[in-house]
Amino acid sequence: MLRALALSIRVSMAISCNYFLHSLKRLPWVGKKIPDTVYRIPTTKMILSLVVELGKILFGFIGALLTLAALIFGPLFLIERGFTNLDLFYHYFFFIFFLVVPLGSNVIFQTRDSNAYTMVHLLKLDGRNFLLSRMLYTLLLKSIRYALLLLVIGLLIDLSPRESLMLSGYILFAALIWEALILKLFDRIKINIYEKTGYLLGLLALLLGTCYALPYLGVILSLRRFLSGGLPFALFAMAAGFSLWQLFSYDRYHALTQQTIDREKLLLMEDLLKKKAFIDVDLAEEKLGREKVSSTGHLEGYDLFNHLFFTRHRRIITRPVQIKTAIVAAGALLLWTLLLLKPEFQDPVRENILSLSPYFVFFMYLLSSGDKFSRMLFFNCDRYMLKEHYYKDKEAILKNFTLRLKFSIRLNLLPAAAVAVLLSGTGIIIGMGSAIVQLLPMVVTIFSLALFFSTHYLFIYYLLQPYTADLTRKSPLYGVINALIYVISFGSIHLKTSSVIFTLAVIFFTLAYTGAAILLTYHLAPRTFKLR
């Protein structure tokens, strides 16, 4: 089994290293500097493999920390406005790590990636040794990860080191028990619950709902004294040991791997993952035919082409924007009604309204349809049209970019106008009087942000064209840039300022960036916008 684990880790590191190098070579400018011979340099690959594995370990810690924050400490803070209620902490911990996490993240039945297929079907590694070694490695690493995190967190919430280590032990015990239970269930009824996605998600939602609903109803499971006791810990350890013995005693792993690590299922899953990025921009053919097209007698060429395209696809691009606008309008009416019925709320709004500029950056990011607009263009149009020579002509590319940019701006100006009306109307209701002119820079900010998001996504789409004909994403830089935009937008809400300088800086940056993006697109797009 140790040999199977060592071989599995080596193969996984090699695959990860090759994928990392492949991603680096896909980067613009930098990728061209990396020779193909780098794949044949053992020392370089060994160092890169270690770096990649360390990165995986780091991201594992980040994932565990986010799990604790989102599922335990976030709800704990919402109810208690603090983290001192350890009874509630243990309540959440029990539901999350005794039920939800081990049920939702089974190792044996969810080990069906390309690495598993390589090990079991290509290298002919024994299925039992492979699955058990991966299970033990994964669960022990998870337990150690949570032990370190809980030891650090324990210093902040008065959780003793002994309790932290016991809780990490419970995470391991519960996972082993569930691995054995699910394997036993499969052996009895021959049903893989992880192929019944709807039922599994429903069960997990029920468990999570129960976990968070009980405290709101005043019911908190007092488990701290029980779980921190030596006898219950020993009993769970014995149950986990018995489960581990059952897992080792199971003698039909070969048949199990033939069913779960199947080439056809693996290819199907990869195909679904490819299409996942475009699922919200896919429109059935029969729905396309239902859209009525207005008179087009005055249009010709690419003006007509784009008019017909946007009209037929209004269900997936125009209507979501209209829904967002309607939500903003409804929110405005509710806010105005509240301010009129409860005048005491007007003073705090009046005091803080000028400090809302940082929030509008993230708000307009959420209302933007730029990324979805670009994916819709590729999935429904460009992946077919870029195969045609005339469509790749410089004049055609720039003409289509101009028409699309105009349409994108019109799309994003609609919710921006709703937000501007919301802001202005609020200023009138709270009685700002002549001081309402101070809102003018904020209104300009809102529209400039709409212009920025309209241009930005189309600009990087034309500059990088990140998708391939088989719907995979080729450019990692595209994902990095979009992630950076999200981080900046989300980070802006943490800025506490009412400075006019900030507002003017946002306006200047968005307008300057928009102008530069348009110029660069006209200069570079004829060379960069192609089917990969």
Domain count across the chain: 2
In-domain check, residue 53: no
Per residue, the 3-state secondary structure of 136-175, as one string, reads HHHHHHHHHHHHHHHHHHHHHHCCCHHHHHHHHHHHHHHH
Give the closest residue to 294 by CA, choosing from 312, 281, 278, 282. 312
CA atoms of 2 and 361, how far apart (whole Å): 52
Helix axes 314-341, 394-429, angle to 10 degrees: 10
pLDDT of residue 286: 46
Q: What integer best gives the mean pLDDT of the chain?
A: 82
Are residues 194 and 230 part of one domain?
A: yes
Using one digit for the tens of pLDDT, what is the confidence trace for 246-268? 999 988 888 788 777 776 666 66
Reply yes or no on whether the pLDDT at 282 is more than 80: no
Higher-pLDDT residue of 357, 279: 357
In-domain check, residue 52: no
Average pLDDT over residues 457-484: 80
Helix (H) or strand (E) holding 325: helix 314-341
Are residues 418 and 381 part of one domain?
A: yes
Provide the 8-state DSSP code for 195.
G
pLDDT of residue 268: 65
Using one digit for the tens of pLDDT, what is the confidence trace for 165-180? 999 999 999 999 999 9
pLDDT of residue 96: 94
Are residues 449 and 406 part of one domain?
A: yes
In-domain check, residue 363: yes
Question: What is the torsion angle, in degrees rounded to the nearest 10, for the CA atoms of residue 437, residue 439, residue 440 and residue 442?
Answer: 170
Using one digit for the tens of pLDDT, what is the confidence trace for 288-334? 555 555 656 677 788 888 888 888 778 788 888 888 899 999 988 99
In-domain check, residue 442: yes
> Which residues form the domain of 435?
301-528
CA atoms of 330 and 395, how far apart (whole Å): 43
Are residues 201 and 66 part of one domain?
A: yes
187 pLDDT band, cuts 50/70/90, is confident
Reply yes or no on whether the pLDDT at 4 is more than 70: no
Reply yes or no on whether the pLDDT at 508 is more than 50: yes
H-only helix segments in 69-126? 74-80, 86-93, 101-104, 114-117
pLDDT of residue 477: 77
* Torsions phi, psi for 126 (to 5 deg): -55, 130
- Domain end position, chosen among 276, 310, 336: 276
Are residues 246 and 310 part of one domain?
A: no
Are residues 502 and 406 part of one domain?
A: yes
In-domain check, residue 37: no
CA atoms of 137 and 10, how far apart (whole Å): 14
Are residues 316 and 180 part of one domain?
A: no
Provide the 8-state DSSP code for 473.
B
Reply yes or no on whether the pLDDT at 532 is more than 70: yes
Are residues 72 and 163 part of one domain?
A: yes
How far, CA to CA in Å, does 458 sit from each of 180, 304, 403?
Answer: 50, 20, 11
- Domain end position, chosen among 241, 276, 311: 276
Which range of 49-53, 278-282, 348-352 scores highest in mean pLDDT? It is: 348-352
pLDDT of residue 362: 86
Are residues 326 and 239 part of one domain?
A: no
Are residues 70 and 127 part of one domain?
A: yes
How far, CA to CA in Å, does 258 sit from each of 122, 128, 173, 484?
Answer: 12, 12, 28, 42
pLDDT of residue 350: 79
CA atoms of 198 and 206, how far apart (whole Å): 12
Average pLDDT over residues 122-131: 76
In-domain check, residue 438: yes
pLDDT of residue 57: 79
In-domain check, residue 211: yes
Average pLDDT over residues 45-56: 72
12 pLDDT band, cuts 50/70/90, is low
Average pLDDT over residues 10-19: 67
Reply yes or no on whether the pLDDT at 341 is more than 50: yes
CA atoms of 238 and 323, how far apart (whole Å): 55
**Among the listed ranges 15-29, 61-75, 349-363, which one has the minimum average pLDDT value?**
15-29
Average pLDDT over residues 51-74: 84
Average pLDDT over residues 229-234: 92
In-domain check, residue 508: yes
Are residues 518 and 477 part of one domain?
A: yes
Average pLDDT over residues 475-480: 76
pTM: 0.63
516 pLDDT band, cuts 50/70/90, is very high
CA atoms of 172 and 147, how far apart (whole Å): 10
Reply yes or no on whether the pLDDT at 32 is more than 70: no
- Domain end position, chosen among 209, 242, 276: 276
Q: In the structure encoding, which two tokens stand for residue 246, read together?
A: 């059952």
Are residues 89 and 156 part of one domain?
A: yes
Higher-pLDDT residue of 47, 403: 403
CA atoms of 294 and 289, how far apart (whole Å): 14
**Among the listed ranges 117-121, 204-208, 447-451, 480-484, which one has the minimum average pLDDT value?**
117-121
